[in-house]
Structure 1
Amino acid sequence: MHTLLPFLLAMVAAIVLLNILGTKLRIAYPILLVVAGLLISFVPGLPMVRIDPDLIFFIFLPPLLFEAAWSISFKEMKKWWRIIGSFAFLVVFFTALSVALFANYFIPGFTIGLGFLLGGIVSPPDAVSTGAITKFVKIPKSTSAILEGESLLNDASSLIIFRFALIAVSTGQVIWQEAASSFVWMVIGGAGIGLLLGWILVQIHKILDTEPASDIALTMIEPYFMYLIAELFHSSGVLAVVAGGLYMSSKRLVFLNSASRIQAYSVWESFVFILNGTVFLLIGLELPEIVEGIRSEGVPIQTAIGYGLLVTAVLIAARIVSAYAALVATIIFRPGVIPNASSPRRRYLMPLLLGWTGMRGVVSLAAALAIPVTLNGTAFPHRNLILFITFTVILLTLVIQGLTLPALIKRSRLFDMYTEEDETETKRKIKHGLRQHVYEKLKHKYNNGFGSHPGFERIMKHWEEKVNASDESWMSPASKKIFYEVLECQRQYLTELNRDPKIDEGIIRQQLYQIDLEEERIKSI
């Protein structure tokens, strides 16, 4: 343990520093982490890194999916469910089929079953990579919702394909009736188990009525619980976590108090950041073992790289073709849901952008590593080559697509076609509506009984001023500057007061936290 701890601490430090560097360079941190891991792996004398697939599937995947389900807008998912469903299931299957046919035809020794195995591994785009890359450019909420919704579901569909392909390779045959019934159970059973467990866990939170620390601790173990129970019933643990996370997210105001919600956001943000960073760094560090496996099979590195390049090209082409097919189907069957474009050219360039967002990552690596080393007492056919192709696909899609996607969005000005309301104007309307609502509510409810009460008159005057005042007159930049100076003065006073041994530091920290909340409130005005 004493030798592993420095390595883990150095890894977390590297993740933080590379994220800071990526923000300054406006490059998504997953790209830098994979490249950094790749470069570190060439340092002589370093021990070879071997990743247990169960470590990624069970330790990393459930919390990443759970947090994503809490972050996504369920309202937007319902609005765009058709295209999300098509990309998450139909496009993933089409991509896996394209890779299977290519591998069966061009890679010597690859059966159609091995091709589907490879296709299931590399077909799901990675949500973290896409989100980290698109944060540097402005994209419409609808596009963001489609990409986030797709990423929640495509992991499940790709892993289902992977499981059936693994069975086909192991047994040499596929009984389609059993495969169909198993598929239905994995989808429906996984979602059903997730919803049931989500409801049970919400009731537990409400009954226990715990403090924020306990609430957050429970949320940390809940995705593992959902995943494990679903897998024990041979359904999709991924879908269980997604369904349960979506349900609990919709009920967060019911079973979590404000303190728990505020604290959980910060805790989960840091936790997921470290998990994602660790996995992407490990992807790069895994290269020496993968290369060693290729050499043991007698496959030249140049040949393996060529296969990786061709498979990457097939993946990109399949996704772009699928995006254009989705556009054509929408024009034919649902023309009313197509956003208004400023020109037909930009409308038909939009699928190209969606097709270019298919960066691969965590799930692809975990699935490739999950291939058993042996099959019926002999080495699993082409396992090391599949691992190498997967690594090549992850690296190429992250670096090539990841680095060019922001430039593509900016230079093409594709999102000028959308007429979404300006975010600042939307916030102004919401704030004004809230002020008006509070003022009318107080006036209607209390005016008769407390009309002459001095305290009530002060409250009503306060809200009346907020209704009649513009944002600029209510809190101007000069006023904000004064408020910030006052808050900083309060912090200094509390810091000096904390030197007194008779003062409870917990009370001081509570007051400092309230000051931080007040500063954030002022920033949002």
Structure 2
Amino acid sequence: MTPLQIASVILVLSAASGSINYFLLKLPASIGIMVIALLGSVAILGVDHYAPGLQLADQVRELVASMEFSTSLLDAMLGLLLFAGALHVSLEDLKREALPVFLMATLGVAISTIFIGVGFSWASGAPLLIALVFGALISPTDPVAVLGILQDAGIRQSLETKIAGESLFNDGVGYVVFLLLTSLAFGNAHGHGQAIELADAVTLFLREAVGGAVLGMALGWGVFQIMRRMNEYPLEVMLTLALAFGGYELALALEVSAPIMAVVAGLMIGNVGRRDAMSEETRTYVDGFWRLIDEILNATLFLMIGMEIFQLSPSANMAAVLPAAVVLALLGRLLSVALPILLLRPFRHESRDVVPLMTWGGLKGGISIALALSLPESEWKALILAATYVVVVFAILVQGLTLGRFARWLNRKT
């Protein structure tokens, strides 16, 4: 199938799943689409089991493989999704929560990576470095999943800013940590033929993280300067799209963190640009355009997550490892939130519900699956992919659907 045909199939399936959810399930849109895709995929696997002659599962498996989920998300969709998410985050609110967001997006990712990695190595028997790769790809919260769920959760603004801000930044940090650990474990991150030295890892991390932030600020400032000198909303909307698309690809070419670039550029246009460069008419169109992009990409992404079950290769040893992975992911998330909050206790007061809500609201999503799919072929890739998929599905379906009720229950208790 050609890329256009694949995109057409995905859009048709997303629209059909969204319609079924609207009339029947009435779940939050993205979750409903994923549930329908997952149920449909399981049904096809069931039909194939009892009627193997149809070869229906093989045909769908070929379609799913042709979607190239990892490449489609990491090299195309992610930049737009992160830019759209950052565009609607208040910089003033984020500044007030900057310290906890920074600690959880950096120290928290490191704590979670180590805890989950050690635990996964013990539970699965995987070498520690390879288990740490799993810890790195499953530790960051997914801004796509988080921002989509937060809209319906009804939690207070300060806590929403913490969760949203952390999810936007720990994604970029986690991606860099993943690249470093993958290089050390497999010896081919960034296409290098051999593993980088540990001393070089610090340099690579700083180049990726700081370089991404600097590039995002530079490109965002440049687009802001152009927009403030015009009042032509179609062109201004196009400029924001060019910034998200072109900036992300430029960051990939320069080998700096493209996710961090997209977040920083989105924050700049969404705050400084919105305030000083856009007319009221332009704000309306820019907001509407990016909300529509966000909704469409979310729908297609969650549909693809539901269909990625065809990429799994189940084995007998997974029965004990997969539940352990879910528990490890939750405990790692708890530590990544609780320890930074504990460190900040002498300097700022946080309400008692911050740790439990941020733990339960730390959803994993498509980025983790894409990273797992991008791993080099090895005897451990199938297990890591299956564990990642189970953690993501649990996070979206169980944590995502209960976050609002959990928040209301905590409010009654405090």
Alignment partner of 2:312: what SS?
helix
Partner of 1:232: 253
Separation (CA, whole Å) in 2 of partners of 1:327 and 1:188: 24
1:112-131 aligned within 5 A: 112-131=128-147
Which shifted more, 265-274 or 121-130? Answer: 121-130
Give 1:64 deviation, angstroms.
0.6
Q: What SS is found at the alignment partner of 1:136?
A: helix
Looking at structure 2, the residues matched to 198 and 247 of structure 1 have their Cα atoms a distance apart, in angstroms, of 6
Is the 8 Å Cα contact of residues 18 and 33 (structure 2) preserved in structure 1? Answer: no
Q: Which contiguous aligned blocks of 4+ residues in structure 1 show a shift greater than 4 angstroms?
A: 1-6
Corresponding letter in the other structure for 2:344? T
Q: Output aligned runs, 1:361-510, within 5 Å.
A: 361-373=365-377, 380-413=378-411
Cα drift, residue 129 of structure 1? 2.7
What SS does structure 1 have at the residue aligned with 2:152? coil
Query: Counterpart of 2:32 in structure 1: which amino acid?
Result: L
Residues 372-391 of structure 1: CA deviation (Å, up to 9, x unaligned): 34xxxxxx331122111111
2:85–2:144 contact (8 Å) kept in structure 1: no
Change beyond 3 A, Cα 1:121–1:338: same
Tell whether 2:36 aligns with 1:47. no
State whether structure 2 residue 235 is matched by structure 1 residue 214.
Answer: yes
Structure 1: 5+ residue stretches without partners: 342-346, 374-379, 418-525
Query: Is the 1:305–1:392 Cα contact (8 Å) retained in structure 2?
Result: no
1:21–1:409 distance in 2 versus 1, CA, 3 Å: farther
For residues 156 and 236 of structure 1, the distance between their equivalents in structure 2, rounded to whole angstroms, comes to: 7
Deviates more, 1:389-398 or 1:37-46: 37-46
Whether the 8 Å CA contact 1:130–1:359 is kept in 2: the answer is: yes
- Distance verdict in 2 for CA 1:105–1:20, change over 3 Å: same
Amino acid at match of 1:289: Q
* Cα pair 1:116 1:161 within 8 Å, conserved: no
Report the equivalent of 1:277.
Answer: 299
Partner of 1:459: none
Take 2:34 and 2:98, find their aligned partners in 1: how far apart are those partners? 32
The structure-2 alpha-carbon separation of the partners of 1:15 and 1:211, relative to structure 1 and needing over 3 Å to count, comes to farther
Q: Equivalent residue of 1:251, what SS?
A: helix
1:103 positional shift: 2.2
Residues 331-381 of structure 1 show CA distances to partners (whole Å, capped at 9, x for unaligned) of 2x21xx325x6xxxxx2x4412221112211211221122234xxxxxx33
Say yes or no: does 1:289 pair with 2:291.
Answer: no
Matches of 1:90 and 1:14 in 2, distance apart?
42
Report the CA distance shift for 1:130/1:170 in structure 2 as closer, same or farther (over 3 A): closer
Partner of residue 195, structure 1: 217
Q: Which residue is 1:33 aligned to?
A: 33
Q: Which of 321, 333, 336 is 1:307 aligned to?
A: 321
Q: CA deviation digits over 1:47-98, x for unaligned, max 9? A: 2212422211121100111111110011111111111011111111111111
**2: CA distance, partners of 1:228 / 1:353:** 35
**1:214 counterpart SS class:** helix
Number of residue pairs matched?
A: 388
Hey, what's the Cα distance between the residues in 2 that align with 1:371 and 1:189?
A: 24
Matched, 1:8 2:29: no
Give the alignment partner of residue 143 of structure 1, picking from 154, 159, 168.
159
| Inter-partner Cα distance in structure 1 for 2:286 and 2:6 | 29
For 1:100, the equivalent position in structure 2 comes to 117
The structure-2 alpha-carbon separation of the partners of 1:304 and 1:137, relative to structure 1 and needing over 3 Å to count, comes to same
Report the Cα distance in structure 1 between the residues aligned to 2:150 and 2:203, rounded to whole angstroms.
38
- Are 2:69 and 1:69 aligned? no
CA shift in 2, pair 1:400/1:216, >3 Å:
same
1:408/1:174 CA distance change after superposition, 3 Å: same
Q: Distance in 2 between matches of 1:153 and 1:136?
A: 22
Q: TM-score under structure 2 normalisation?
A: 0.87
Note if contact 2:120-2:328 (Cα within 8 Å) is conserved in structure 1. Answer: no
Cα deviation digits, residues 263-295 of structure 1 (max 9, x gap): 12112111111101111111111112223xx4x
Name the structure 2 match of 1:475: none
Deviation at 1:257, TM superposition (A): 2.6
**SS at 2:376's partner residue?**
coil
Greater relative contact order structure (CA < 8 Å, 6+ sep):
2
* Equivalent position amino acid for 2:254 in 1: F
The structure with more radius of gyration: 1
**Partner residue of 1:351?**
355
Q: Distance in 1 between matches of 2:302 and 2:215?
A: 30
Match of 2:204 in 1: 182
Deviates more, 1:351-360 or 1:127-136: 127-136
In structure 1, give the amino acid aligned to 2:302: F
Aligned alpha-carbon RMSD (Å): 2.3
Q: 1:192 to 1:21 in 2, by over 3 A?
A: farther
Q: For the structure 1 residues 389 and 195, does the alpha-carbon distance in structure 2 shift closer, same or farther, using more than 3 Å as the test?
A: same
In structure 1, distance between residues paired with 2:173 and 2:131 = 16
Q: Summarize deviations over 1:306-350 as a string: whole Å, max 9, x none.
A: 32211110111122233332333232x21xx325x6xxxxx2x44
Structure 1 residue 161 displacement after superposition? 1.2
Structure 1 contact 28–129 (Cα < 8 Å) conserved = no
